[in-house]
Amino acid sequence: MAPGRRDPFRPITLNVRAANTRRRENLSPLERFEIGQLKLVGVVWNVKEPTALIEDSSGLGYMVKVGTPIGSNDGKVREVRRDSLIVEEFFVDLYGAKKRREVSMRLAVEQ
């Protein structure tokens, strides 16, 4: 393949993500997971600063509050509600623009 040319068999999104992500050091355990791999299992509500309990895929629990870094896309806990958690994270779209989105994690209810 000629230098400077893109491999036509590699997804274009793979190149965009690799070019725009920066290496982060000293990541907390919660920053190593995608938001979809985490589960909200509890909320401590009637206190001065509401706190939520997050569980990862291996069953380990983490206490989070507003401002806690979470997820692999520079996410932060924005709000702790009675039955959910709002996470604000950033991502790079197909055109290379950095965008913000809010992800809601609902409290897991056992049947």
Task: Give pLDDT tens digits along the chain (111 positions).
Answer: 556 677 777 766 655 444 444 456 788 889 999 998 999 999 998 889 999 999 998 999 999 999 999 998 889 999 999 999 999 998 888 888 889 999 999 997 765
State which residues form the domain around 75: 12-106
- The CA distance from 70 to 77, in Å, is 7
Domain contains 4: no
Q: Is the dihedral of CA 50, 39, 79, 69 positive or negative?
A: positive
- The CA distance from 8 to 105, in Å, is 37
89 contacts 74 by C-beta, under 8 angstroms: yes
pLDDT on residue 27: 85
pTM (two decimals):
0.70
pLDDT on residue 93: 82
Tokens of 5: 């040319």
Domain contains 1: no
**Number of domains forming the structure of the chain:** 1
Domain contains 73: yes
What are the φ and ψ backbone dihedral angles of 98, each rounded to 5 degrees?
Answer: -85, 125
The Cα-based distances of 35 to 20, 30, 39, 53, 87 in angstroms read 20, 9, 8, 14, 9
Domain contains 85: yes
105 contacts 87 by C-beta, under 8 angstroms: yes
Domain contains 50: yes
- In CATH, what number is assigned to the domain containing residue 20? 2.30.30.830
